[in-house]
Copies of this chain bind each other. A is one copy, B any other.
Amino acid sequence: MPKKIRLGILGGGGDSLIGVLHRVASFINDNYEIVGAVFNPNFEDSVDFAKEIDIPTNRIYKDFDTLVEEELKLPEDERIQVCSILTPNFLHFPMAKKLLENGFHVICEKPMTTTYDEAIILQETLAKAGTVFAVTHTYTGYPMVRQMREMIKEGALGKIHKVDAQYYQGWINPIIHDKEKRSTVWRLDPKKAGISSCMGDIGVHAFNMIEYTTGLQVKSLLCDFNYLYADNQMDVDGTVLVRMGEHVKGLVRASQVATGEENNLTIAIYGEKGGLRWEQENPNYLYKLNDPEPLQVLKPGHAYNSKLSLDGTKLPPGHPEGIFDAMANIYLGVARAIRGEEYNSGEFPTMTDGVRGLNFIENTVASHKQGNIWVDMD
C-alpha cells in the first residue's frame, strides 16, 4: 500500500459535527493524513483548532485562496492531494471549481452546489480536470445499502416496478410554529439556504438512494410542498411522485416536521420477484421480502453478502457499525480511486450524483410552484 493520502480540510473546525464525521472517516482505514486546512474563517480559530486536535499548524492557512496558492508551491509529493469541503453550502461550488481547476481531488459535502447551473459547470470542470470527485451521500456507504444495490443489479427483485423512499425528521417543528423563530433561522431563509429546505437538505438523500440502489434514473416528477405557514418561504415537508421508466413509479417523501422523528430514512423497492427494505436508524438489517417464501433478514459481514457490501464491514457479524463507518467506506473508495486502484462504481457517490441531486431539487421546486405538475428531469 502506498503512503497515506495527503488530505486538506476546508471548514469543519470548532464544534462542527460534520468536521468530526469526516475526520474520523478519514482515519478509520488508515488511508489519510490531514496535512493542511482552513478550519475556520478566522485564522486564529483555525490554528487553535489544529492545536486542539493536535495536528501540525504549519499548513493551516488564513483562507482558501492562500491554501491553494501555497500548496501549489509545494512539490507534488508533499502537496495536498484531496480536499474535503465542509464549508457553508454557497462556498461548495467556488471552492470545488478552483480545486478541480488546480488539479486537486475533491470530497464535497452535500449539496454539491446551490444551483443546477453551477452543478453543470462543475461537471464540465471535472471533465477537463480528470481528477477524483466525490459528493458525500453518506448513506450509500452502509454495507446493507450496498448489498441492496448489488442484489438488485444481480436481478434478485426482477424488474423493478415500485420504489418508496422516506426521509422524516422532526427537528424544525419547535422552530416553525414560532413566527419570530421561523423568520430568523438561516435554514428557512432562501437567501442563505437556497431554494429548498426539506427537499434540498434531506429529500435529496432519499432521491439519491433510490437511484443508487435501483440503478434506474428518475425521468419525471410531480411535487407538493408544505410550508405550514403563509409567511414561510421554504418547504418543511413535501411529497414527490416519481417515474423511473414506463410503469416504474414511486415516491420520495420528506419532512422536517414529522415531530418526534429523528433521522428516519427508509427505502423500499419492489419488483417482480420480491422486495427489499432498509432503515437508516437500524442500518445493519436488510429485509428481503419473498413471495411465497419467508422473509429473510440479511446482516453485514456474512459470506452471503456481495463483495461491495463485505468490503464495507470491518468486524464479524453481530458487531454493529454505524454512520462513521459508512462515511469511512466512502473515504476508502475515494482513496482507491486516487491511487488508481480498481474499485466498484458503488463505492462513492460521484459528480453524476451531485448533478442529479441539484436537478432533482430544482425540479421539485418548479413542479410545486407551477401547481404540482409533472416536470421532466434532464
A residues at B contact (CB < 8 Å): 1, 3-4, 17, 20-21, 23-24, 27-28, 30, 33, 51-54, 157, 161-162, 164, 169-170, 173-174, 177, 222, 224, 226-229, 237, 239, 241, 247, 249, 251, 253, 255, 257-264, 268, 270-275, 280-284, 288-299, 302-304, 314-325, 372, 374
Contact = CB atoms under 8 A, between A and B. Distances in A.
Nearest to A239: B251
B264 A247 contact: no
A291 B325 contact: no
A51 B3 CA distance: 8
Contacts of A262: 299, 316-318
Most buried by B among A251, A261, A322: A322
A324 B271 CA distance: 32
A292 B282 contact: no
A351 B161 CA distance: 36
B315 A304 contact: no
B170 A270 contact: yes
Contacts of A30: 23, 52-54
12 contacts: A27-B28, A222-B222, A239-B239, A261-B270, A261-B275, A262-B318, A263-B317, A281-B318, A294-B296, A294-B298, A296-B296, A321-B324
A293 B304 contact: yes
Contact of A322 (B263, B281, B322): B322
Contacts of A247: 226-229
Contacts of A275: 170, 258-261
Contacts of A280: 318, 320
Given A224-B222, A316-B17, A259 B274 contact: yes
A323 B323 contact: no
Nearest to A18: B315
A255 B241 contact: no
B372 A222 contact: yes
Contacts of A4: 54
Given A259-B273, A322-B322, A322-B324, 6 more contacts: A17-B316, A164-B253, A258-B270, A261-B289, A294-B304, A321-B324
A9 to B, nearest CB: 12
B177 A272 contact: yes
A195 B285 CA distance: 36
B281 A320 contact: yes
Contact of A291 (B23, B162, B173, B270): B173
A224 B241 contact: yes
A302 B237 CA distance: 23
Nearest to A32: B54
A54 to B, nearest CB: 4
Contact of A323 (B253, B283, B320): B320
Contacts of A1: 51-54
Contacts of A290: 260
B54 A33 contact: yes
A162 to B, nearest CB: 6
A318 B284 CA distance: 14
Contacts of A162: 226, 237, 255, 257-258
Contact of A297 (B169, B282, B291, B295): B295
Contact of A24 (B28, B51, B226, B258): B28
A336 to B, nearest CB: 15
A335 to B, nearest CB: 11
Contacts of A323: 315, 319-321
Contacts of A161: 226, 228, 237, 257
